[in-house]
Amino acid sequence: TCAANDVVHVYAKTTTLFELRIEKADGTAIVGAYTQGACPPTLVPGTSGAPTYGSQVGLYTKIGRLVTVQWFMTGARNTMVGTLSLSGLPFASTATANMYLGIALGLWYQVGGTTFTNMVGFLPPSSTTFNLYVQPTAADHIQVTLWNATDISANWQVGGSFSYMTD
């Protein structure tokens, strides 16, 4: 609850990033920091190579310990080899043991043609990188496998949004 003498501090870091902290007159925080900014995603092949990006956009909002991320990227497969992960989260996930976050990806295009029906990610504790998994179209729709560079068509699009907790 705010009283008449409580103070709101807004710190401008750049034109696209600011921080909000609501404090009591004695300096005690009422609401944790609010920040927002850019966090462009990076597709990381497990063995070697790198994609060429056509678009690589990511934005985040952090209120207290809760971080919400929105991102989108397009590119060409190029020389990528191995299983794929996505890095570039702005803050490490909570260090709570066994706290794995499942991430549903809202958009994928030409990242496997008809070889799978769903794409998900899993964010492990204390991490800014999550592994990407695909669900095959076979009769067993429960099993998922790590997304591999060989699953990607020459040109692809991937995007999504999700929230996670930090410490």
Look at residue 57 in the predicted model and tell me its pLDDT: 95
Enter the pTM of the model: 0.75
Nearest to 13 by CA among 69, 65, 90: 90
Tokens of 140: 């067993």
66-96: pLDDT as tens digits: 999 999 988 888 888 999 889 999 999 999 9
Q: CA-CA distance, 51 to 116, in Å (whole number)? A: 21
List, as one string, the DSSP characters of 98-134: T-PEEEE-SEEESSSTTSEEEEEEEE-TT-SEEEEEE
Q: CA-CA distance, 61 to 79, in Å (whole number)? A: 33
